[in-house]
């Protein structure tokens, strides 16, 4: 649940900087361990960056003139892992950083190809307007965003009866023509869309874009907006109550129209979170709604990688820079096994547990061990975390890691079809829902 994730994050960030073991989220949009990972505003503080800064402060205040070079290991080659590696490399600490991942080449320099030689990756990742870290990464790597990304695009939602709705590009939207007479507004029709307070701007911009859902059903969305304000604007106890509630119960409680839920909200959740409302925390749904739709008027604007994949377009130049400038070591095709913890070795951390060794199976199938480790960052998804904790008795004894290992992941099938000719579509991104199989 979302509460569980927050507990883990709090446990990592609130403990002493001498705690050498850290855990960061490694999947998709939930990653929060680096200065590269997507964030909702520029005030976001990276757990990895904060830890690295504290480590640097401790080292600089040490009276010893022979402080040995630190050794850190990052487990996981997703955005969380690369973000953590980047933060450590750029922290100013005199350290060696190693990144371990099960992919044969997590650096993105070796393309992952289909049997017919076409570049593929798991899923198709959109890049939303509120991704300041990604934009900053492009600047740091000298990448032209116009070369990396497509323009922001519309998305269409289809059901068995045809087109249901179209998601606008808010930053390029124009004032719609309303079906009733409001003189001062009608005069502004087709003018550039003004920035209005959220969510008023979103409501007005999307007014003409629902093809089949009646206005009365759309108006019931107001209940969800009120719930979101109540939840995200309250303290943790209120948020915990929403976390124990399913999204389905939330929709019933705030009287959302069944048609709105079935024809629009449910397909949106299946695309964004890969689960129906009955299996999702109400808190998680409202966080998704806020981040991708309500934080700012143009939060829902999305664009895509123009050519190639995320790995060869963004990860590869980042990996090349970290290896060339900072000496980052990358171990691909390697699966982490046991992580050994020991009480502190008279380093001022007051007897707290620290990671000292990490065992892994290399690509040749041999077991190797990295010893004298000063810190480990786990940037893993649910299954990866479960595997590591099961192999590490020292970790399994700690509630924060045993709880993390018990979180459920979501199985998703990504299917790609290549046609023998270009097929014109109404919009580049299309969502199809409620179609019968077969």
pLDDT level of residue 8 (50, 70, 90 thresholds): very low
User: Using an 8 Å Cβ cutoff, are 69 and 62 in contact?
Assistant: no
The answer as to whether 290 is a domain residue is yes
pLDDT level of residue 346 (50, 70, 90 thresholds): low
**Mean pLDDT calculated for residue range 312-323:** 96
Determine what percent of the chain is predicted with pLDDT higher than 70: 72
pLDDT level of residue 65 (50, 70, 90 thresholds): very low
| Signed CA dihedral, 128, 134, 138, 139: sign only | positive
The residues, any chain, with a CB within 8 Å of residue 159's CB and separated by 6 or more, are 212, 263, 267, 432, 433, 434, 435
CA 79 to mean position of chain CA atoms: 8
Selected residue with higher pLDDT from 30 and 361: 361
The answer as to whether 319 is a domain residue is yes
The answer as to whether 385 is a domain residue is yes
Reply yes or no on whether the pLDDT at 31 is more than 90. Answer: no
User: Using an 8 Å Cβ cutoff, are 139 and 314 in contact?
Assistant: no
Are residues 314 and 283 part of one domain?
no
The residues, any chain, with a CB within 8 Å of residue 60's CB and separated by 6 or more, are none
Are residues 289 and 227 part of one domain?
yes
pLDDT of residue 437: 74
The 3-class secondary structure across 278-331, one letter per residue, is HHCEHHHHHHHHHHHHHCCCCCCCEEEECCCCHHHHHHHHHHHHHHHHHCCEEE
pLDDT of residue 105: 94
Are residues 286 and 201 part of one domain?
yes
The residues, any chain, with a CB within 8 Å of residue 404's CB and separated by 6 or more, are 4, 8, 23, 385, 389
The answer as to whether 232 is a domain residue is yes
pLDDT of residue 278: 94
pLDDT of residue 341: 94
Are residues 387 and 257 part of one domain?
no
Q: In this predicted structure, which of 39-48, 207-216, 226-235, 330-339 has the lowest mean pLDDT?
A: 39-48
pLDDT of residue 281: 92
**Mean pLDDT calculated for residue range 243-255:** 93
The answer as to whether 417 is a domain residue is no
pLDDT of residue 17: 31
Tokens of 246: 């399913």
Question: At how many degrees (to 10) do helices 47-61 and 2-14 cross?
Answer: 10
Are residues 100 and 46 part of one domain?
yes
Residue 419 neighbours by CB distance under 10 Å:
6
- In the beta sheet, which residues pair with residue 207? none
Are residues 368 and 279 part of one domain?
no
The answer as to whether 381 is a domain residue is yes
pLDDT 10s digits, 127-176: 988 888 999 999 999 999 999 999 998 888 888 888 888 877 767 655 44
Nearest CA-CA partner of 339 in 388, 293, 397, 267: 388
Are residues 392 and 364 part of one domain?
yes
48: containing domain: 2-120+308-405
Reply yes or no on whether the pLDDT at 5 is more than 50. Answer: no
Residue 40 neighbours by CB distance under 10 Å:
16
Are residues 324 and 280 part of one domain?
no
Selected residue with higher pLDDT from 19 and 321: 321
User: Using an 8 Å Cβ cutoff, are 326 and 318 in contact?
Assistant: no
Residue 179 neighbours by CB distance under 10 Å:
8
pLDDT of residue 15: 33
Residue 166, classed as helix, strand or coil, is strand
Are residues 110 and 195 part of one domain?
no
User: Using an 8 Å Cβ cutoff, are 281 and 247 in contact?
Assistant: yes
Mean pLDDT of the chain: 78
The answer as to whether 147 is a domain residue is no
Tokens of 168: 């606008």
pLDDT of residue 60: 62
Q: What angle do CA 270, 271, 273 make, to 5 degrees?
A: 65
Reply yes or no on whether the pLDDT at 332 is more than 90. Answer: yes
pLDDT of residue 263: 85
pLDDT of residue 201: 54
Reply yes or no on whether the pLDDT at 20 is more than 70. Answer: no
Determine what percent of the chain is predicted with pLDDT higher than 90: 39
Looking at the structure of the chain, the number of domains it has is 2
The answer as to whether 288 is a domain residue is yes
**Mean pLDDT calculated for residue range 308-332:** 96
pLDDT 10s digits, 384-423: 999 999 999 999 999 999 999 998 878 888 888 888 999 8
Are residues 37 and 89 part of one domain?
yes
pLDDT 10s digits, 70-111: 999 999 999 999 999 999 999 999 999 999 999 999 999 988
Are residues 287 and 212 part of one domain?
yes
We report the CATH number of the domain holding residue 116 as: 3.50.50.60
The residues, any chain, with a CB within 8 Å of residue 397's CB and separated by 6 or more, are none
pLDDT of residue 62: 52
pLDDT of residue 392: 96
Reply yes or no on whether the pLDDT at 317 is more than 90. Answer: yes
Residue 409, classed as helix, strand or coil, is coil
pLDDT level of residue 14 (50, 70, 90 thresholds): very low
pLDDT 10s digits, 250-282: 999 999 999 989 888 888 888 888 889 999 999
pLDDT of residue 240: 92
Q: Look up the pTM and report it.
A: 0.75
pLDDT 10s digits, 53-62: 676 666 565 5
Q: In this predicted structure, which of 186-200, 328-342, 423-437 has the lowest mean pLDDT?
A: 186-200
Are residues 326 and 239 part of one domain?
no
């Amino acid at each position: 649940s979302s509460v569980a994730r927050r507990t883990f994050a709090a446990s990592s960030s609130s403990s002493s900087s001498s705690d050498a073991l850290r855990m960061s989220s490694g999947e998709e949009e939930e990653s929060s361990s680096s200065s590269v990972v997507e964030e909702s505003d520029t005030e976001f503080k990276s757990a990895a960056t904060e830890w690295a800064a504290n480590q640097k402060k401790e080292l600089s205040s040490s009276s010893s003139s022979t402080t040995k070079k630190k050794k850190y290991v990052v487990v996981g080659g997703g955005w969380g892992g690369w973000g953590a590696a980047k933060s450590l490399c750029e922290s100013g600490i005199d350290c060696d950083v190693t990144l371990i991942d099960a992919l044969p080449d997590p650096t993105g320099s070796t393309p992952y190809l289909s049997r017919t030689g076409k570049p593929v990756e798991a899923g198709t990742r959109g890049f939303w307007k509120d991704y300041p870290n990604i934009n900053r990464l492009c600047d740091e790597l000298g990448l032209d965003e116009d070369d990396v990304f497509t323009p922001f695009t519309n998305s269409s939602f289809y059901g068995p009866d045809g087109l249901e709705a179209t998601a606008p590009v808010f930053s390029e939207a124009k004032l719609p023509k309303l079906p009733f007479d409001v003189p001062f507004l009608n005069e502004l029709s087709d003018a550039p869309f003004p920035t209005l307070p959220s969510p008023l701007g979103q409501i007005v911009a999307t007014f003409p874009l629902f093809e089949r859902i009646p206005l009365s059903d759309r108006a019931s969305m107001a209940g969800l907006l009120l719930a979101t304000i109540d939840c995200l604007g309250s303290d943790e106890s209120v948020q915990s109550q929403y976390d124990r509630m399913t999204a389905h119960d939330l929709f019933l409680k705030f009287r959302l129209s069944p048609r709105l839920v079935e024809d629009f909200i449910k397909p949106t959740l299946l695309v964004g979170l890969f689960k129906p409302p009955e299996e999702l925390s109400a808190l998680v749904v409202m966080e998704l709604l806020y981040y991708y739709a309500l934080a700012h008027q143009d939060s829902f604007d999305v664009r895509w990688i123009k050519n190639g994949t995320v790995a060869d377009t963004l990860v590869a130049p980042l990996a090349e820079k970290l290896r060339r400038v900072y000496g980052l070591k990358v171990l691909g095709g390697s699966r982490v096994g046991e992580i050994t913890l020991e009480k502190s070795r008279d380093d001022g951390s007051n007897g707290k547990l620290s990671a000292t060794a990490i065992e892994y199976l290399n690509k040749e199938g041999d077991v190797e061990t990295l010893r004298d480790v000063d810190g480990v960052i786990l940037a893993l998804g649910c299954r990866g975390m479960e595997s590591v904790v099961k192999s590490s008795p020292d970790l399994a004894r700690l509630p924060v890691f045993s709880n993390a290992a018990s979180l459920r992941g979501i199985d998703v099938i990504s299917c790609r079809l290549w046609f023998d000719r270009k097929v014109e579509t109404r919009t580049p991104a299309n969502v199809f829902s409620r179609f019968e199989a077969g």
